[in-house]
Amino acid sequence: MAHKVHSLGQIPINDHSFSPDKSFLAVARDINIDLYDSSGPKYKQLTTLTGHDKTVTAVDIAPKSGQIVTCSQDRNALVWQPQADGTYKPMLVLLRINRAATYARWSPDEKKFAVGSGARAIAVCFFEEESDWWASRHIKKPLRSTVLSVQWHPNSVLLAAGSTDSHARVFSAFIKDVDSRPTPTVWGERIPFQTLCGDYVSPAGGWVHDAAFSPSGNALAFVSHDASITVVYPAGPDQPPSAMVNVATSLLPLVSLTWLSENEIIAAGHDAHPVIFSGSENGDWKLDHAIDDPLHAKKSTDKESTALNMFRQMDLKGTQNTTDDDSSLPTIHQNTITKLRPYAISGSRVSQVSSSGLDGRIVIFNV
């Protein structure tokens, strides 16, 4: 089965999120959020949500309620509530940060969402019925730089964060009167808000672009700017990890990852194609294979007609050379992949992932 490619224009896509039935897609692009009907073979734009005045950095659709959370470099987050007439009503979020918001994700139970920021803080947001707004509490210590990603544990209490201070950390985001007491995990039994349950450093000291829990929540993986991936298996509270495996690659930096199963991870970034890592707690993690491998891929066949391509080359480069000076990449994505997200699950394994890129494309990869 071939990978599905959807070109949504030339504007870079910073993040994307599908509804659970995959009939609806939200795309963060420039200062807007574009909504598409993705039920057919070709995506059709439905509407555009406007409310931010700087670049929108993240978008996430809550699977059950259908609410959409967005955040932006304008230091704000908005929760968009679906209305009966198909429109969306923005709700106020008291984020209380003085730098750009960088990343936002709903917790699995949808009672909270977390927002990373350049203010050396993570805002954990929850709804206050009396005031009819979303309030926030901040995780600050020991963060020392911009938080680039936040991802939730399956229990909706623990939170993984990657930041530019070269650390991947696991925090408790337990909020009294909002969360019920979680069962103990390998990350510990202590649940006060802001408790640091794990702190791991990128071996080469590179920015940690993304960090995520395995499907069981018993392992953590993160990708850093040295183009390596690290997988951590905690041994318990206040104990060194039972295993911490780093896999270095010769790729350009990886910026996004998602777990396919307990023993497989897919990651992508500046090389414009995904790669799959496999391994276990035994320390045998390795780069398994590439998807859409540029070493074996052929140049895209859907190029412009010869005449149009000739004029394009003359306009861009002052040359009529259409063969030897072709600037297109031998991969489906023509620029950095910004986000990878699970798309379809077969049994206990993710069988398809969706990707967004700086080339304005959404691609459904078979894995």
Run of H or E residues at 264: strand 264-269
Nearest C-alpha neighbor of 38 from the set 343, 349, 366, 367 = 343
Nearest C-alpha neighbor of 132 from the set 163, 89, 181 = 89
Q: Residue 321 has which token pair?
A: 């050379």
Contact in structure between 196 and 171 (CB atoms under 8 Å): yes
Q: Where are the alpha helices (DSSP H) in the chain?
A: 306-317
Rg (CA), the chain: 21
DSSP assignment letter at 2: P
DSSP assignment letter at 178: T
Contact in structure between 299 and 327 (CB atoms under 8 Å): no
Q: What is the pLDDT of residue 300?
A: 41
Q: Residue 139 has which token pair?
A: 């995780």
Q: What is the pLDDT of residue 311?
A: 67
Of the two residues 161 and 305, the one the predictor is more confident about is 161
Q: Residue 108 has which token pair?
A: 């699995």
Give the CATH number of domain 4-294+329-366: 2.130.10.10
Q: Positive or negative, the Cα torsion across 170, 288, 360, 325? A: positive
The CA-atom distances, in angstroms, between 128 and each of 56, 105, 139 are 25, 18, 19
- Cα dihedral: 254, 257, 260, 262 (round 10): 100
pLDDT digits (tens, 9 = 90+) for 31-86: 999 999 999 999 999 999 999 999 999 999 999 999 999 999 999 999 999 999 98
Run of H or E residues at 313: helix 306-317
**Amino acid identity for residue 238 in this structure:** D
Contact in structure between 76 and 101 (CB atoms under 8 Å): yes
Largest CA distance in the chain: 68
Contact in structure between 135 and 147 (CB atoms under 8 Å): no
pLDDT digits (tens, 9 = 90+) for 219-264: 999 999 999 999 999 998 888 999 999 999 999 999 999 999 999 9
With cut-offs at 50, 70 and 90, classify the pLDDT of residue 303.
very low
Contact in structure between 168 and 211 (CB atoms under 8 Å): yes
How far is it, in rounded angstroms, from Cα 164 to Cα 148? Answer: 7
Strands (E), 192-233: 196-201, 208-213, 220-224, 228-233
How far is it, in rounded angstroms, from Cα 62 to Cα 67? Answer: 5
- Tokens 């210590």, residue located: 141
pLDDT digits (tens, 9 = 90+) for 159-193: 999 999 999 999 999 999 999 888 899 999 878 99
How far is it, in rounded angstroms, from Cα 85 to Cα 72? Answer: 26
With cut-offs at 50, 70 and 90, classify the pLDDT of residue 327.
confident
Mean pLDDT for 200-207 is 92
Q: What is the pLDDT of residue 307?
A: 59
